[in-house]
Amino acid sequence: MKEALQQILDEARKRLQEAECIQDAEDVRVKMLGKKGQLTGILKSMGSLTPEERKELGMQANKAKGEIEAMLNKTFEQLKEKAQEAKFKAEKIDVTEPGKAHKLGTKHPVTITIEEISKVFKSMGFTLTEGPEVETVYNNFDALNAGPNHPARDWTDTFYINDDVLLRTQTSPVQVRTLKAQKPPIRVFAPGRCFRCDTPDATHSPMFHQVEGLVVDEGITMADLKGVLDSFAKQMFGEETRTKFRPHHFPFTEPSAEMDVSCFKCGGKGCRVCKGSGWIEILGCGMVHPSVLKVGGIDTEKYTGFAFGMGVERVAMLKYGIDDIRLLYENDMRFIEQFK
């Protein structure tokens, strides 16, 4: 047993000297002093010895135990320090290293255009309002006088969620919401996203933006419509801009028109941007149809109004000379950065 003790002591010393991490030392502790450890085994087996033997061996075994414990404590201490040092080393910050540059983003040309359009209408006393992109079929079509057989309702043109709900195909349903929520005088504009089942090409995108406008008050006439939209065109495209209103048809306005602006590229002489005509179509507009006003419970004897809607991408493309709408959605930073 004496030899066994010596062996245990030697092995513990050797292994603790070689220990590289706390786990190595812990293994030694378990092997020697654990419940089923070698030294523990010896201490347990001492019951079978004579009292003298027990006294002597007991002393030696306890001494060995004390030595191993002392070695363990020392090793644990050293290894902990070593681990701490390694951790500090790994976490060391090199303050001389150059910083990582994070590129600043820029505003998207569609955002810039919406902000420019908004600024003009705000300056004319319009208030910003918004409606949801997921809209009822009723607000998007029926309430806007586009009856059950209107071609725009076709499922091939519209993203339907179900029979009663769709992705709005225009911002015009915001007119319906506004007429129901507010009493005249009303003077709002509503920018927002719209959706149509269009295959993407240079001038079409299934997702695009419009800005809607609505004015309702006593005595509003076509002259107000022309005055406001002509002023908008001059502020948006330059003081020298002229406007032209062509008769058109929309279900929710009567009479309806489209507004052209004189080409801001060539000034009206004819160029690539205006396709040689000198004019560029910018928006649809008209006097709000009485049946739309009635949906909002507005007294059509007392009040009249006008409305307009324009495509934001179209305005942005014309203003910035972008020839493919898809460029606006690819989010290539080299493209987007040009419009700061």
Q: Is 296 in the site for ligand DAH (CB under 6 A)?
A: no
Q: Is 172 in the site for ligand DAH (CB under 6 A)?
A: yes
How many residues touch ligand DAH (CB under 6 A)? 11
Q: Which of 141, 208, 279, 308 binds ligand DAH (CB under 6 A)?
A: 308
Q: Which of 61, 292, 307, 312 binds ligand DAH (CB under 6 A)?
A: 307
Q: Which of 135, 212, 260, 313 binds ligand DAH (CB under 6 A)?
A: 212
CB of 230 to ligand DAH, least distance (A): 16
Q: Is 286 in the site for ligand DAH (CB under 6 A)?
A: yes
Nearer to ligand DAH, 32 or 146 (CB): 146
Q: Is 139 in the site for ligand DAH (CB under 6 A)?
A: no
Q: Is 259 in the site for ligand DAH (CB under 6 A)?
A: no
**3-class DSSP state of 99:** coil
Q: Are the beta carbons of 91 and 83 closer than 8 angstroms? A: no
CB of 171 to ligand DAH, least distance (A): 7
d(Cα 244, Cα 19) in Å, to the nearest integer? 91
Q: Is 191 in the site for ligand DAH (CB under 6 A)?
A: no
- Beta-carbon-side half-sphere exposure of residue 205 (alpha carbons within 13 Å): 18
Region of 12-20, 32-40, 49-57, 283-291 interacting with ligand DAH (CB under 6 A)? 283-291
Q: Which residue has the tokens 């908008």?
A: 232
Counted residue by residue, the chain has a size of 340
Q: Is 253 in the site for ligand DAH (CB under 6 A)?
A: yes
Q: Is 189 in the site for ligand DAH (CB under 6 A)?
A: no
Q: Is 170 in the site for ligand DAH (CB under 6 A)?
A: yes
Q: Is 285 in the site for ligand DAH (CB under 6 A)?
A: yes
Nearer to ligand DAH, 135 or 212 (CB): 212
Strands (E), the chain: 127-128, 134-136, 165-167, 186-195, 207-218, 243-250, 253-262, 279-288, 303-311
Q: Are the beta carbons of 114 and 211 closer than 8 angstroms? A: yes
d(Cα 218, Cα 184) in Å, to the nearest integer? 8
CB of 316 to ligand DAH, least distance (A): 16
SS3 of the chain: helix, strand, coil, percent, to 5: 45, 20, 35
Nearer to ligand DAH, 37 or 309 (CB): 309
DSSP for 35-98, written as a single string: TT-HHHHHHHGGGGS-HHHHHHHHHHHHHHHHHHHHHHHHHHHHHHHHHHHHHHHHH---TTSP
User: Structure tokens of 197?
Assistant: 């089942």
Q: Is 131 in the site for ligand DAH (CB under 6 A)?
A: no
d(Cα 99, Cα 293) in Å, to the nearest integer? 60
Nearer to ligand DAH, 245 or 250 (CB): 250
CB of 94 to ligand DAH, least distance (A): 58
Region of 32-40, 48-56, 279-287, 313-321 interacting with ligand DAH (CB under 6 A)? 279-287
Task: Count Cβ atoms below 10 Å from residue 74 Cβ, excluding itself.
Answer: 12
Q: Are the beta carbons of 200 and 185 closer than 8 angstroms? A: no
Chain positions contacting ligand DAH, by CB under 6 A:
170, 172, 212, 250, 253, 284-286, 307-309
